[in-house]
Amino acid sequence: MSAAPDHQARPRISDRWPARHPERLQLYSLPTPNGVKVSIMLEETGLAYEPHLLSFASQDQLTPEFLSLNPNNKIPAIVDPDGPGGQPLALFESGAILIYLAEKTGQLLPREAAARYQTIQWLMFQMGGVGPMFGQLGFFHKFAGKDFEDKRPRDRYAAESRRLLAVLNQHLAGRAWMMGADYSIADIAIFPWVNNLIDFYAAGELVGFADFPEVQRVLSAFLARPAVQRGLKIPA
């Protein structure tokens, strides 16, 4: 008896999270700082999408179905049934997804070359600095790091987080948003992490958040946006 063809045995993301609206963009995520970047972007642009909630408690991110979409087992990830050339496109990594959605919709990423690359520059600042450093600080300050008597790891990440906040504070002086007058994917990338640092991680006092009035101002403006308020709760 011959074995079934290999492609028939491979799991698909839709095996575990079937789409009720397959014509819409499919979002697989959690309301974490990285996850809500994409839901906020989708809310801001008005693209039709269907969210699917993953559970870390049941290790959904490690299932064969999710790994078929993202072999790096991280959220968020998307499948756009109407990708380039009208073909489906699967993507992971929140920064890549933000750039893709901006280019797909023609929104929130400048078309002029210099401003476009400067926006992507600040997106990379979040991806390489703000996210990893704030996340590590959250671990050592709020979660298991509290069990460590040695506070040097926590203090190292607190110092670097404070330095990053100072960079943001200086840059935002005299600017409404990261790119000046225009709200962009740079703001959508950065401010969920700032909000998480202060709200969920409760690290405001540790990093001296009161010393960064420009960051406070822009964070307040960010959180006041209706699309942000909706996106922060998705997937519910």
155-177: pLDDT as tens digits: 999 999 999 999 999 999 999 99
- Please give the average per-residue pLDDT across 128-147, as a whole number: 92
Amino acid identity of 130? V
**Residue 8: pLDDT band by 50, 70, 90 thresholds?**
low
Query: Measured between alpha carbons, how far is 89 from 91 in angstroms, rounded to an integer?
Result: 7
Residue type, 62: L
Class of domain 6-105: alpha beta
For the chain, which residues make up each domain, given as ranges?
6-105, 113-225
Supply 117's token pair.
């690359």
What pLDDT shows up at residue 1?
A: 47
**Residue range 189-232, pLDDT digits in tens:** 999 999 999 999 999 999 999 999 999 999 999 999 999 999 99
Residues 54-102 have pLDDT tens digits of 998 999 999 999 999 999 999 999 999 999 999 999 999 999 999 999 9
Q: Report DSSP state, residue 61.
A: G
Q: How many CB atoms lie within 10 A of CB 230?
A: 15
Residue 219's φ and ψ, nearest 5 degrees, are: -60, -45
Q: Given a cut of 50, is residue 138 above it in pLDDT?
A: yes
Dist CA 219 CA 236 (whole Å)? 22
- 230: which residues sit within 8 A by CB, 6+ positions away? 39, 40, 43
Residue 144 has a pLDDT of 80
pTM: predicted TM-score of the whole model, two decimal places: 0.94
pLDDT for res 149 = 82
Give kind and range of the element (H or E) at residue 82.
none
Q: How confident is residue 145, by pLDDT bands cut at 50, 70 and 90?
A: confident
Return the residue matching tokens 């809500």: 36
Q: What is the DSSP string of 122-186?
A: HHHHIIIIIHHHHHHHHHHHHSGGGG-S--HHHHHHHHHHHHHHHHHHHHHTT-SBTTBSS--HH
pLDDT value, residue 10: 86
Distance CA 189, CA 33 (A): 8
Pick from 187, 198, 194: nearest CA to 225: 187
Are 77 and 90 in contact by the 8 Å Cβ rule? The answer is yes
| 14-65 pLDDT, tens digit each | 999 999 999 999 999 999 999 999 999 999 999 999 999 999 899 999 999 9
Q: Return the higher-pLDDT residue of 144 and 19.
A: 19
Helix (H, G, I), strand (E, B) or coil at 50: strand
Q: What's residue 4's pLDDT?
A: 47
Q: Which residues lie across from 80 on neighbouring strands?
A: 89
Determine the pLDDT at residue 236: 86
Q: Residue 218 and residue 47: Cα distance in Å, rounded? A: 25
Domain 113-225: give its CATH code. Answer: 1.20.1050.10
